[in-house]
Each structure stands twice: as structure tokens, then as C-alpha cells.
Chain A
């Protein structure tokens, strides 16, 4: 069996606010294997953002054990943690976080700068990665010259240019309209399938979460459910067990689940159950954006 990409054991995260301790996470244990497709869901304030920061090595737990890429983050210094993030984690944020005034290819090359890769090689790798996300023709555009969907795809290319073990996506479609968001999701899923990077997506959107093979529901700083779905719900068989109140003691190995999620065609998620509140919106014809590039 392969080494898990991320392993958390009884992780706590406590903040001191004006002398009062507030625990955002209260003993979370989970393992994310290589190549997994995981959705982390929960209402705001549930601790899912804190969990995401910990899984990405942006923050350190107050208690418990957190191993990322085989290294225990509680023993790492800030520079070591930065290097670990550079080598192991790719981030995709809701707000893209691209450097303005910097071309797409240089934005994508940014993580390689901190890896010490030479300028020419950086650009080659970044250009190749932009090609993989369908933006080979937008290398020298600046963020303000790109549509929202294109900007997020630049961000995805940036996250993956280092060939990380884990891709952490925090509400990656939150700032996009549904058609564009759909294309971005399909891209993420395709890259997950192709490259074997574990995809961990934080979302409050049940519909988005329903596409993942594994759903982790967080509430009040605890994992309320952690469920596997052998087949994606888009084929009509599954009802996401997101509100399963059972504690997530279930030890699980996702290595068998594999990247078997739906083919990434437009509207691939259209078969989701009708109880999804925004179902009627989704078939809206895709508009101006480059959905085709992803396929």
C-alpha cells in the first residue's frame, strides 16, 4: 500500500482570542490517499477552512499529529513548511489569487521560482501546463485580460505545475457562473484522473460535493461523516450521505476507489438528483467561455 498523501490523527486547532480559547477543530482524524477525489463540506464556521489550511500546510495544529507527504508538520520550521507546501501541495482559491500585472505564464511559473528552477525552464514548464488546462493560446495575457474561468484555470495550472501530491481547492467555483464553474470542475476532475493528484475540494455547494468520490462533512470542528461513493451520483444511483450523523471513525482506504468519476463532458453532472436546489439552472446553455478547451 502506498503512503497516504495526508494523514491527520486527532488534530486540534485552537485560537487564542483576547485570552479566550476557541477551538476551530476538535480532534479530527482522516487520511487522504494519493489520487483521491474528496469533497469537504460544511457550513461556514464549521472548521472546514481551518481544516483546509492545515491539510495544505499553511497552518500547524495545536494538538495531534499531521503528516503531509510523509513529514510531520508539527516538527517543521516555517521555512521547511514553505518548502513542503511548494513540493507537495497545490492550492486553488475561490478568488484565484493571481498576481495582477503578471502574465499567465509567469503566474503559473511562480511556484517554480521558489523551487529555484531557472527562468527558461520555468517558462517552458508553465507554458506546457497552461496547454494542459486549455490556455496554450493565452500565455502572455494578464489576469485582467482573461475571463473568470480562464483566470481560475491559470490558477489550476499554477497549482499543478509543481506536480504536487495534493490539490487543495477552496470553493474553486464560488466566484464563477454555473456554466464556467462546471467547466472548471470538469477540468479539475480530468486532471485528478490523469495525473493521479489527490483532489481535495472544500465547498458548501452540495451539488458540487456530490460529484466527489468521497465526502467529508465537517461541523463544529468535528468530522460528522466521511463516506465513500464508488460511483458518482451523476449516474443517478447515489444519494450523497452528507448529513450522516455517524462519527467518522470509519477507517477507510480510498486507494481502491480510483479515479473513476464521470467523463468530463459538459453537463456531465446534469443527472444529479432533483432535490438539488439549483438543478433547473444548470442546463443553461454555455455562453461565452471556453468550456470546450477543457475537453
Chain B
């Protein structure tokens, strides 16, 4: 009952006509973004962030959350019909989804993917609702040392889990931390790295940074690496899975929901990781693993469920601890901050409308997406026929327009273009921009808590982090995350040596 009363309040917030429109709009925009290859949810949310400034605080978050989970729904469409993932989390759906389409079973693949997404999203939101209040209550007991240790742990996981190389990821994250330290220092009032310019005194703007790195960077990359797909699209007719399809997908959907949610709440636990892991689990548990890669419906159902559950799971650390676990959630955190909301354990108690309103909107959005997505498949197929060569200049227009609209400043436009070049270079040389943006957002929080903890510690200095049990445990976990890949490498090298000596 303790949970139901605030949830009903959340529904009262989410069911207002304005918010219902934002749920619908966000879900549809998200689905379209997911359907269109080459424009992921991070880039799109970055582009739409300036638009949300004029909105009510709850509505803006409802809208952005809708885009996020809508993109997860939509991502499967291009994977199944064109063998091109609409966004990263749908990469594995290509494998069996496209094979099903080639066998004339695109309809059941799309149908099961939509149902799996709905199940994963709904179960995930229910888990968010149950876990978040408990976590927020616990986090209220955290002081600056515990918060610093927790943020450091999250930061290390993010740097380690994104991309192929831990050192590269952490280095990119360090650059993000540096960018986050530009501007007037809050504690001492000293200007850092401003080079005497007024523009940099308030720090580097998140919107030009995010729009540049993700939006403009992606566009420039696509212009340079132009590839024509040449695929012939047809609207699938029968979307309903057979009885056998349901039977095959039941357990993968259940497992995908649990696995996806578990991955989603971990720092660095992106939906793409959840879907990949779900595919691996399903393949291992399958009675006939040889069917995988040849059009197995459970290989579509499991990953599509897992990525939606992970999307919901990511809201737990965001709303209760103020820690975004991926770049999309970092932008949502920025959206909250732009509206004057301090994300963290107090959010649940000080701004219950935001928390419960967003949770309720996610239930509504999932239902809307299930009802709307299947009948709209024909429309999405038509949309995929619009040439990217027309869409690309229009996306550039919206990026530049959004950058200007933020502060009516052409310097923001210049910053967006410059960060676009940086984003392009990062993509070209295989560097993930996600740790940079996450570190940029987490950096000021890390510094703030570190300074407060050191002031609190006075003469005891850094030992405050080890003597307090929670921060001590979190720092030990951070150490494990850092050392594990080195140990793995050493063990691998030793095994290789012993193999070669035996040969």
C-alpha cells in the first residue's frame, strides 16, 4: 500500500492531457529515431534538450524518457527488415530477426519483438518502483565520503565497460572530467581553464558538447563513410506470432526481463550490453542452439526484452542516487538540472511528482507503444524509404538550430560544430564518446564530494575514505574493477606461455 498511494498520485500527474501528449509524442519520436538508422537515442535527446527547456519539469522528463524507451522499441524494426540496427541495443536482433524476415516471417519477429519490449519495459518499471524507495532511503545515510566512493565506483565501471579497451575508456573519461572542471570553481571562486573568456566562465555547455559529440559527430561520420543499403522493403502482413512462437519465447522473455533489469541498474550497464548478454544466455540454454543465427524467435524475444528492461533499470540509480549509468541518462540528468532539480536520494521526497509521474508515464508509454507500434509498421516502412541524403541536411539544420536556440548565441553553434569534429574523430578512431559525457556530468559531483569529504576529514586526510565502512567497501570494489582486467591479461599471458612451451 505504501507504494500504491504514490503510484496513484504519479498516474494523476501522468494522465493530465499535457503529459499524455508528451508521453505519446516522446514514444513516437523515440520509435521513429529507433527506426531510422544512423541517429541513436543519445544524439536525438541531445538535439531535443533545448526544446525541453521551455517545458514543465515533469513533462520534459516524461518526454525524454518516452524517447529513450521508444527508441528501444523502434530499433528492432530496421534490424529485422533491413539487417541494419536502428540503434546499438538492436545489433543482436539483426542476426535472427533478419533471417526470419528472409524466411517470410518478418511479421511474427516484429510482433514478438514488440511484445517482448512491452514485457521487459513493464516488468522493469515495476522493479524500479519497488527498489527505488529502498535505495533512496539507504542513500540518505550517505555522507560526502560515501557519495564520493560511490561516484568513483560508477565512474570506473563506466570507463571500463564502454568500449574495447579499459585504458582508452578511462582516458576518454578523464578528458570528460577535465572539461567538467572548466569554469569558475564553486568552492574557491577561481576561474579554471577559461583563457580569460567570458563564455567559458560558466563552464562548457552540456548541450553543445552532447549535440556536437553525438549528433554532429555522427552526421559527419555518415557523410564521410557513405554506404547505400539498396534494400527492398515490403510491409509485412501477418504480425501475430504462432502458438509455437509464444511457447518458444515465454522463458526468454522472463529471463530477459530479469537479466536486463539487473544489467540496467549497474553503472555502464547499457541496453546494448543487456541484449548481447541475453542472446548469449538464450543460446546457452537452448535445446537446439544450432537454430540460432538461422531465424530462432527466442533470439529476438530475449534480447529485445532485455534491452527494454535495462532501459527501465537505468532509472533506479538516476532517480535515487543522481548517477546516470549511460550517456542517455546523463542527458536526462542534465535536463533535470536545467530545471533546477537536484537529482539524488532527496528527489523522491522533495519532488515526488517528478519521480512517480515519470514511473507512471512509463507504464502508460509501454501500453501506448504496444498498441501503436504494430499498426504503424507500414508507416515506418514508408519512413525508411525516405533517402538519408535528404534527412541528413535536415538533421544538421535541427542540430544548429537547437544549439542557437539554447542561449541565442552563435558561439554555442560554433562550439557544437567544434565538438562535432571531436565526435567524428573519436568515432573514426574507435573511441567511445559515452564515457566523456558521463564523466563531464559526474565530474563536478565527484569534485564537490571529494572537497567536502577532505574538509570534513581535516587532519586525517584521505584515510576518511577507508575508515568509514561503506566508502571503504566501495573503494575496494573500485580497485577490483580496475585490477581485474590486468589480472585477466596476466593469467592469459601465463596460459599462452605454458601452451607454447608445451608445444
Instruction: Tell me if chain B binds chain A.
Output: no
- B residues adjacent to A (C-beta < 8 A): none
